[in-house]
Amino acid sequence: MNRMNFLNTQVDNLTMKEAVDKLEGLLHDGKYHYVVTPNVDHIVKLEHDKEFKEIYDKADLILTDGMPLVWISKLSKTPIKEKISGSDFFPEVCKVAAEKRYKIFLLGAGEGVADIAAKNLKSKYPGLEIVGTYSPSYGFEKKEDEVKEIIQIVNRAKPDILAVGLGAPKQEKFIYKYLSELKVPVSLGIGATIDFEAGNIKRAPKLMQSLGLEWFYRLIKEPKRMFKRYLVDDLAILRVVIKYRKKVVA
């Protein structure tokens, strides 16, 4: 009932609480689900990446990550209720998981970073059960043996929630390709969240987040890595908005 067309995809128009409730519902139906969190970068990629588009079309939960998308949605009759970034959503999921004993597995980030994030999260949310972590090697998705090992490790841990922080679209493509083999009730891509929770990368101050300037903060902190994405690639969002303007104002 809450899913609506937005630019070149759809989004579930939910508040944070509604989104957490929806995820919790997905945990209990005996199927394997996944969550995506579109931001400006994702929307731009969807225009030319057919595999990524297919993944979005079949996602069980699509949550809007980014104030610019919320602002764009306000041109329509049904504006998006709330920005729900993976880095804000995941801590809320951890809070519920700690209360209800849902098990979580962290996949991603550099060597040892996920272990630090797990320790910090368990300290922040007493009772949280993180049943495993794994930091894959560079280019692991092309290494059949390592992919099989990851699947085996996750299967042995039997998490209820698999949090994958590999960056987009790699994390979404990994989840989608191996969804039935991983056998996890809910998988979600969380980008740099593992690094944030480990303290390896600092998030923007709350005020900058609320003003939609988190991208600018990350650009300042990591100019070489983020310059092309934010100041070259993501400017294509303007063309996307113009192309789909009838959907925006419908």
Share of residues in the chain with pLDDT > 90 (%): 80
Burial 28-43 (b: 16+ CB within 10 A, else e): eeeebbbbbbbbbbbb
Amino acid present at 226: M
Q: How many CA atoms lie within 13 A of 139 on its CB side?
A: 2
Which DSSP symbol is given to 141? Answer: G
Return d(Cα 227, Cα 223) in angstroms, integer.
5
**In the predicted structure, residue 61 carries a pLDDT above the cut 60:** yes
Amino acid present at 131: V
pLDDT tens digits for range 227-236: 888 888 889 9
* Contact indicator for 197, 182 with CB cutoff of 8 Å: no
Q: What pLDDT shows up at residue 248?
A: 61
C-alpha distances (whole Å) from 59 to each of 52, 56, 71 are 11, 5, 23
CATH 3.40.50.2300 fits 3-249, yes or no: yes
**In the predicted structure, residue 249 carries a pLDDT above the cut 80:** no
Query: pLDDT category, 75, cuts 50, 70, 90?
Result: confident
Share of residues in the chain with pLDDT > 70 (%): 98
Q: What is the mean pLDDT of the chain?
A: 94
